[in-house]
Amino acid sequence: MKKPLLWVGLTIAGLSLGASGRHSSEAKILDQIREIERRMGENDGPTLSAIDPFLRDRQDAAKGLAALIAGGERHPPTVVYFCADPDALDCPSVYADDTPHLGEILRGVERVPPGGAAGLKIKVSRELRGGRRDVYRAHMGDMHERGNAALVPVPLGRDGRVRADFSTEDGSGLVVLFAGPADGSRRFKFVWWLGPAGGPQ
């Protein structure tokens, strides 16, 4: 018997940071990404293996730009894609945008619990404040059949809060945030894979 859809509350807000040193480190994430991309260009060769380490470093750096808060715990994105087209849902870079196939390529990855009655909260770094933000939800099965066309937009209120039904009883729910800095210089696609508590399956 199918369980009822889970209603989850999301809040889009700026990161609440403590020490000034942390402010400083977060303010440099985009600079870190630009430096990684510069070195990646210098080391580009006939095979992708030459730049794979830079792609991993860029991915790790970008994960510091957004977080999903569930049950009081902070979760970095499962994966981040870099968008060339600010209006596109598909964000291929050196490699393809594999959002529709995460269930196949990320076996054993830890998923984010849906957050219970407290819901979920998305927070972005200072560098992304003031920029355009679009939130979507999806089900892994629909994504596999229809690709990024299966992403369903979640409306944002003036206060930044949204409500959407994330069907996560089978561990197949996705939360997707498109966000970038206010100057529109770049856009990121942050993806979180929701699932039951207790770790990967």
Q: Encode pLDDT of 165-183 as tens digits.
A: 554 556 778 889 999 999 9
- Confirm whether 106 is domain-assigned: yes
With respect to residue 200, please indicate whether it lies within any of the assigned structural domains. no
For residue 163, is it within any domain?
yes
Instruction: State the total domains in the chain.
Output: 1
Q: In sequence order, which ranges of 43-89 are alpha helices (DSSP H)?
A: 52-62
Residue 63's domain spans which residues? 6-194
d(CA 164, CA 194): 14
pLDDT of residue 164: 64
Look at residue 28 and tell me whether its pLDDT is greater than 70.
Answer: yes
Per-residue tokens: 129 = 């404040």
Whether residue 21 is predicted with pLDDT greater than 70 in this model: the reply is no
Average pLDDT, the chain: 76
Residue 103: pLDDT band with limits 50, 70, 90: confident
Residue 23 lies in a domain: yes
Phi-psi label, residue 53: left if phi above 0, alpha if psi -120 to 50, beta otherwise: alpha
Say if 1 falls within a structural domain.
no
Q: Is residue 201 part of a domain?
A: no
170 lies in a domain? yes
The pLDDT, as a whole number, for residue 30 is 93
CB atoms within 10 A of CB 125: 21
3-state secondary structure of 8: strand
pLDDT band at 8 (very low <50, low <70, confident <90, very high): very low
Question: What confidence tier does 154 reach under pLDDT thresholds 50, 70, 90?
Answer: confident
Per the CB < 8 A criterion, the answer to whether 107 and 201 are in contact is no
Task: Give the C-alpha separation, 144 to 157, whole Å.
Answer: 30
